[in-house]
């Protein structure tokens, strides 16, 4: 059976972990944490970078930083992972779910402004599959109403947005705050892991305090204060040096990893793009302003029935494909709280999107076999 995902090891992970252990400093915020944070800040032009234990943690930090209080409204897509919403629900926010675009699971920025009320505090965008949302429009609305923008960039490492000013910016460098994931299913991994990016200077000092359990410990170690203590709310959000050492080995190979993933992505796209005119699935689309980081390859099936059939046929042929998000406005936890608006595009992708295996060690030959299986089923289904 070809798995859906297989974590890729670059080869240096164990050596760096050994080095971290031998150094005698294995708690967080040490040599490897700094190496990772500096690497990412320099490569992508991010503001302050703080490694976290997960993207979920980074989102929780973001919710604390923008001071979400009971009843504040936060707009975000319904087609996303639970953590995008849960981080804000934990602080008492009322979640206002927005619909996806018709052609892509990303939030429909053109219809976002209607959702803003006097209680709206923030917009959370999710760059689905590492494909940029329409950030010019999102930032325009945010500026107009004085809202914070948080990028859920969990899937968006090494991906870019080119705005109407022609400047190409890394995803995660545009909003006031951004959250990345290094979970083993993402492009760059550390088992569990994440990062908060703080682009707005106003948040930088407090972010570090929240990160260090509500203390000014980081300022103390820099010699800025003579003793450290409890100065704000916070939690234990930083990962150990063992995790950071693993992550640094991955980051050093980011170009090789991205090149490989893009090659496989393009292979799927070529093989699935040819065939009969009447196809029961469509291929992923990318707007002109977005780059492709090959986080995932998916097809959008013409019907729920065809997707189920496809999923099973691929399984029978030895390939593990998977469906993706169940729209959060229809989840058991949220459905009673939802304001009742119908979100047809979000539901559409819930029913029809199918993700195909994509990982570093997948052979190109296999992507071609998977594509062939899909094409064959398409042809027999048409008959």
Ligand X SMILES: *Cc1c(COP(=O)(O)O)cnc(C)c1O
Q: Which residues bind ligand X (CB under 6 A)?
A: 54-56, 80-81, 83-84, 126, 152, 154-155, 181, 183, 194
Residue 108's nearest CA partner among 141, 145, 84, 71 is: 141
The DSSP result for 233-294, as a single string, is ---B-PPPHHHHHHHHHHHTTHHHHHHHHHHHHHHHHHHHHSS-SS-SEE-----TTB----
Distance, in Å, from the CA atom of 60 to the CA atom of 211, rounded to the nearest integer, reads 10
Q: Which is nearer to ligand X, 17 or 188 (CB)?
A: 188
SS3 138: helix
Considering the complex, state which of residue 160 and residue 306 has its C-beta at the smaller distance from ligand X: 160
Least Å distance, CB 247 to ligand X, is: 12
Find the shortest distance in angstroms from Cβ 107 to ligand X.
Answer: 12
Given the complex with ligand X, which of 55 and 188 has the nearer CB atom?
A: 55
List phi, psi (to 5°) of 138: -65, -45
In angstroms, what is the minimal distance from the CB of 230 to ligand X? 26
Report CA Rg, the chain. Answer: 21
Nearest-approach distance from CB 81 to ligand X, in angstroms: 4
Angle ∠(88,91,92) on CA atoms, nearest 5: 95
Nearer to ligand X, 149 or 271 (CB): 149
Interatomic CA distance for residues 231 and 52, integer angstroms: 20
Q: Report the candidate in 104, 103, 118, 115 with the shortest Cα–Cα distance to residue 76.
A: 115
Q: Would you say 55 or 93 has its CB closer to ligand X? A: 55
Q: Output 20 or 129, the one with its CB closest to ligand X.
A: 129
55 or 61: whose CB is closer to ligand X? Answer: 55
- Residue 46 CB, nearest approach to ligand X (Å): 17
Closest distance to ligand X from the beta carbon of 8 (Å): 17
Cβ contact 264:370 at 8 Å: no
What is the C-alpha separation between 195 and 154, in angstroms, rounded? 9
Question: In angstroms, what is the minimal distance from the CB of 377 to ligand X?
Answer: 28
Residue of 73, 87, 171, 192 lying closest to 129 (CA atoms): 171
Instruction: Please compute, for residue 4, the number of CA atoms within 13 A of its CA located in the half-sphere on the CB side.
Output: 18
* Nearest distance in Å: CB 353, ligand X: 13
Beta bridge partners, 66, equal none
- Comparison of 135 and 377: residue with beta carbon closer to ligand X: 135
């Amino acid at each position: 059976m070809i798995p859906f995902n297989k974590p890729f090891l670059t080869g240096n992970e164990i050596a760096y972990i050994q080095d971290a252990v031998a150094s005698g400093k294995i708690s967080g915020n040490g040599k490897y944490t700094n190496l990772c944070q500096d690497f990412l800040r320099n490569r992508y032009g991010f503001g302050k970078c703080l490694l976290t234990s997960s993207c979920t943690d980074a989102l929780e930090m973001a919710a604390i930083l923008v001071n979400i209080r009971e009843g504040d409204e936060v707009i975000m897509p319904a087609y996303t992972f639970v953590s995008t919403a849960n981080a804000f629900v934990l602080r008492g926010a009322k979640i206002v779910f927005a619909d996806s675009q018709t052609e892509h699971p990303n939030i429909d920025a053109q219809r976002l402004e209607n959702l803003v009320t006097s209680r709206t505090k923030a917009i959370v965008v999710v760059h689905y599959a590492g494909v940029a949302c329409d950030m010019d429009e999102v930032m325009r609305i945010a500026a107009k109403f004085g809202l914070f923008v948080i990028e859920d960039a969990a899937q968006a490492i090494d991906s870019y947005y080119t705005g109407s000013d022609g400047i190409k910016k890394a995803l995660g460098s545009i909003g006031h705050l951004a959250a990345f994931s290094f979970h083993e299913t993402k492009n760059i991994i550390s088992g569990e892991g994440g990062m908060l990016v703080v682009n707005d200077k106003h948040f930088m000092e407090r972010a570090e305090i929240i990160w260090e359990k509500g203390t000014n410990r980081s300022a103390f170690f820099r010699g800025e204060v003579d003793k450290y203590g409890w100065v704000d709310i916070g939690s234990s959000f930083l990962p150990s040096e063992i995790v950071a050492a693993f992550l640094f080995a991955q980051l050093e190979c980011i170009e090789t990893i991205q090149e490989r993933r893009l090659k496989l992505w393009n292979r799927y796209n070529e093989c699935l793009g040819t065939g009969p005119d009447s196809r029961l699935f469509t291929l992923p689309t990318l707007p002109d302003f977005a780059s492709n980081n090959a986080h995932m390859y998916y097809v959008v099936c013409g019907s729920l029935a065809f997707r189920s059939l496809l999923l099973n046929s691929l399984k029978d042929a030895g390939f593990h494909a998977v469906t993706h998000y169940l729209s959060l406005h229809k989840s058991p936890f949220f459905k009673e709280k939802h304001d009742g608006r119908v979100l047809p595009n979000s539901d559409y992708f819930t029913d029809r999107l199918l993700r195909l295996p994509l990982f570093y060690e997948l052979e190109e030959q296999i992507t071609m076999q998977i594509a062939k299986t899909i094409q064959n089923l398409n042809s027999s289904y048409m008959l």
